[in-house]
Amino acid sequence: MTSKKLQELLGKAQGELTLLYEIGNALRTTLDFDETLTIILTGVTAHHGLAFNRAGIFLVDPEQKQLIGRMGIGPENGEGSSFHKTITSLRVPMTERAGGLAAMSALQGSPIEVVTAADQKKAAMDPVLRALQSTSCVLVPLKGREDEVVGLIFADNRITRTPISRESFRLMALLAAHAGLAIENARTYQGALRQADLDPMTQLWNRGAFQRTLMETLSSAGQSQQPASLLLADLDHFKEYNDQVGHLGGDKGLKAVARLLKETARSEDYVARFGGEEFALILPKTTKINALKLAERIRLAMDQTALPLTLSLGVATFPQDAHETEQLIQAADQALYEAKKQGRNRVVIA
């Protein structure tokens, strides 16, 4: 081997080690989940990195037994890009028959290259590659502790049509070893943060999370000049019910009400336990009339349960009834007080 060739190989190896070091170092600086995914995908697609045109991350959902598209980076970057939207719309069953090559890679814990003509013929029938319009790509599993597959990286050169080299494939596998552990760590941290924001009994958001979310919702509503509404709901005569059934029975009743609120609320709403037998719902981009309709729907749903309990609700809307967080809470609380005063089991608006 000539001195020049050896120098080239050493330079290439040094570049690879530097890349892996930089990505690994960046991953150690954050436990933010989305930032972790962005660092991984940037390392795969950046010009000074592996330089793939596009890359996406799928995460394993063990309960649903599927791979869920979580983030994609390509020539059009950002959450509005068509590639990101396609990635995040994909749900891949964790069976080789239905999930194709992506499921096979995740289930077997082995990377898959789609580069030869024979590979590409199979790819034409693959559900994921067909959705991503990819005929030549790599699929690399992401492994956490104890070699458990936590996700999958997809990468290709669809834009430039540049052949995928063995070096790129090997480097991707090395990067995946760092990435899997980083994702698992970020997931664990995110889960711990989420638990800190939840009421331990009902698993609704707790009061601290409610206060923070309401403040953020009103700030966003003010900037976009959109309304936002707040519902406060209180169980009627709960003390008497609790005395009759005991504390364990009372806890079961609160859990049942929490489930009802989550099931009746819309996906964009925030449901919290405000305290004791009182609950709160933050309704972004919701007018008073639509908030009233939802409150009435909740009240009627409560009437139809087997529980011998009813709900009184107060409704207040930003900026119509208040411009600040505490003022809006006071307005909704005053409306709730009026609902109690008027005979309970009813909705009153501020």
Catalytic residues, by residue number, are 277
Q: How far apart are CA 335 and CA 350, in angstroms?
A: 5
Q: How far apart are CA 153 and CA 179, in angstroms?
A: 10
DSSP of 29-84:
T---HHHHHHHHHHHHHSTTTT--SEEEEEEEETTTTEEEEEEEESSS-STTSHHH
AA letter at 294:
L
Q: What is the torsional sign of CA 263, 184, 196, 88?
A: negative
Q: In what order do the strands lie in the sheet with 66-73?
A: 91-93, 66-73, 54-61, 149-156, 137-143, 112-114
Q: Which residue has the tokens 């150690």?
A: 28
Q: In what order do the strands lie in the sheet with 270-275?
A: 270-275, 278-284, 228-235, 311-318, 347-349
DSSP 94: S
Tokens of 36: 């972790």
Write the CA distances from 278 to 218, 225, 312, 314, integer angstroms. 21, 29, 10, 11
